[in-house]
Chains A and B, each alone.
Chain A
Amino acid sequence: MLEGILTGVTTAMTPINLLFVVTGCLVGTFIGMLPGLGPMSAIALMIPIAASLEPAAGIILMAAVYYGAIFGGSTSSILINAPGVASTVATSFDGYPMAKQGMAGKALAIAAYSSFSGGVIAALFLLIAAPFLASVSLAFQSTDYFALMVLGLVAVAAFAGKGDMLKALLMTVVGLMLSTVGTDQTQGVPRFTLGMIDLIDGISFLLLVMATFALSEALSAIIKPVNEADRQKEKEASQNLGSMAVSKSEVKEMAPVIGRSSVLGFLIGVLPGAGATIASFLAYGTEQRLAGPEKGKEFGKGSVRGLSAPETANNAAATGSFVPLLTLGIPGSGTTAIMLGALIGYGIQPGPRLYLDQPAVFWSVIVSMWLGNIILLILNLPLIPYIARVLAIPARFLLPFILFFSLIGVYFVSFNTFDIQLMVIFAIAAVTLRFLDFPMAPMILGFILGGMMEENLRRALLINNDSWSFLWERPLTLGILALAAICLFLPFLTGMYRQMREKIHPKATTGE
């Protein structure tokens, strides 16, 4: 392991890679801060640039952008109560009240220290867990991988929240459907190409991500009418941050919260599909309960604990979500799905073999997480008053640029103008579905895993002489599929149980 860490350090610490970490953190913070744009769009916008770099450098750049974007998202949550992504919603509960009390600088500093600690502690867990899990997963076969992918897809939908599970499942299926467009990998038969040569190679992953995230988020911002009062508020918030000093008593208050939330965040991040949003809310709720009745009342009004807990947990979960990606090759979240797509673009197949075949990539990702967090703390925090001014740039200049970067990012990879037209079509579909509250992340996950799932299933059937019996004969496959079934039906069963309880004891549940 020590040898691996050294490999990672020597790869990540080259001047050029350090430059990528710094640039990535700054660019990520900048993009993440723009209301409406989250880490997924930030990483997607970086893919065309990362594609022209060495694999390790490209992944380091994207990991840095990821951390930067999370930090940037927290900044806009705290300053203007506009969380760019769901994972920073809980940050705004106490961060925004603090900013309103004239302590925006302090809130940003607490968020930065918490994110840093959460990220660093979770990267330590990753360092221990990833090689262990990678060595275990070497025993996995095609059938197990197929089952794992089913689990990953189902879990994303299962964690989508009450009432949204069916929509998330359907969007996953839509993603799987889109992955079947193009020439069939084994039999060489064209599928769903509609007679168009441009679709023979299938739909580009980058194109789909750009259209459904960066483009549709920018278009959604165009659709929503701009409120001048909000613009004024953003302008003022970006200029008056106040002191960034954190007192000793506040550090004392934060320390145990950071410890607990790091562990919680990491564990939830490792679960496929759960991710940073659930981790941040769970950490917030846990700390509120642990704070006791007196301190608990401060939550929502500018509590240090209430700000520190979700910030630590969402960063720890972001790190945790790299565990299934690096060890099993299965992304646990939309963001890691994009990372997986980028790795595949480099010709690198993440999974247990990555640890053995590409140690430089594997370890430099882990080391770059530490570096990214350190850079965020020592570089971004002092620069935040300046970076925050991005909030004052008028949207009428920012939005056309985002659209341009999204379009040109895809065009520069393929040099095919058909791709731009296809992006427009996907953007129309994505804007419509977003407006109807259908989630996009499960679709991307389905799209990324679709090809691999079909390939593994086909291989499993070939090995088993066209018999489907492997689904129940191999204990590991059966176990994972059973877990997927539990994930799928548990929300329904708990809902039914609750309804039944309500019928039997109506008074207890209504609180009468």
Chain B
Amino acid sequence: MSMSKDRIGGVLLLVFCLTYGLLSQQITLLPFQENVAFHARTMPEVLSVLGIGLAVLIIVFPGSDKKLELAGYNWISCALFLGLMSLYGLTIRPLGFILSTSLFLMIGFWLLGERKPLLLILASVPLVVLFWVLMTQGLDVFIEPLPAFMKSEG
């Protein structure tokens, strides 16, 4: 049995459905709920059976035999961007919106090949400041613009 794209996807989703099915058994039920026709576990149980069944069907009868080809794609860039997004989530509060977002964009442009420092700054900082002004003044959505240590007391 060779591993086509469909089969790999099927296996991954089978693992997901099995985990979901196992976790569904941990949903707590009150004693009187165990004998009713529909309780908090009913839908998850039905779904896990359906999911497992469909995943097995895909593995056994894949729709296409297209093989997985990983070569020729920028996987490293993608991984770096995922890391960058996660880092952005961690820094948006301590560094403030303007600094964290400007850094996020500048690193992003750099990862995709832009190397001119002036362009990196000009394409990010003014737009981030403008966006912050639009959000706070135009849509009344306030977000702390500066790092925590630069905030004025009181």
Contacts and interface: CB of A to CB of B under 8 A. Distances in A.
Contact of A184 (B5, B8, B40, B63): B40
A457 B37 CA distance: 11
B53 to A, nearest CB: 9
A434 to B, nearest CB: 10
B28 interface: yes
A412 B141 contact: yes
> Interface size bucket, A side?
35 or more
The listed residue with most B CB atoms (<10 A of its CB), out of A399, A400, A421, A467, is: A400
Contact of B16 (A174, A403, A431): A174
B72 A436 contact: no
Contact of B39 (A187, A223, A431, A432): A187
Contact of B89 (A173, A180, A421): A421
Contacts of B36: 466
A49 to B, nearest CB: 7
A127 interface: no
Interface string B40-81: 100110011011001101100101101010001111011001
Given A395-B112, A466-B37, A177 B6 contact: no
A469 to B, nearest CB: 11
Given A170-B54, A396-B112, A403-B108, A224 B73 contact: yes
Contacts of B47: 173, 176-177, 180
Contact of B93 (A163, A184, A397, A417): A417
Nearest to B124: A400
A219 to B, nearest CB: 5
A437 B54 contact: no
> Interface size bucket, B side?
35 or more
Contacts of B39: 187
Chain B contact residues: over half helix, strand or loop, or mixed? helix
Contact of A417 (B27, B66, B77, B89): B89
B38 A466 contact: yes
A489 interface: no
A448 to B, nearest CB: 15
B96 to A, nearest CB: 13
Contacts of A437: 5-6, 9, 64, 66
A400 B105 contact: yes
B34 interface: no
Contacts of B44: 177, 180, 191-192
Interface in A456-506: 457-458, 461, 466-468
Contacts of B54: 166, 169-170, 173
B86 interface: yes
Nearest to B61: A166
Contact of B40 (A167, A189, A395, A466): A189
Contacts of B141: 52, 412
Given A177-B17, A177-B51, A421-B86, 6 more contacts: A166-B57, A169-B54, A180-B43, A180-B47, A225-B73, A400-B109
Interface of B: 5-6, 8-10, 12-13, 16-17, 20, 23-24, 27-30, 33, 36-40, 43-44, 47-48, 50-51, 54-55, 57-58, 61, 63-64, 66, 68, 72-75, 77-78, 81-82, 85-86, 88-90, 92-93, 101, 104-105, 108-109, 112-114, 123, 127, 135, 139-141, 143
Closest 10 A-B residue pairs measured CB to CB?
A163-B63, A400-B108, A420-B89, A396-B112, A466-B37, A436-B9, A170-B54, A184-B40, A189-B40, A173-B51
9 contacts: A176-B47, A191-B40, A224-B73, A394-B114, A420-B89, A424-B85, A424-B86, A450-B43, A457-B38
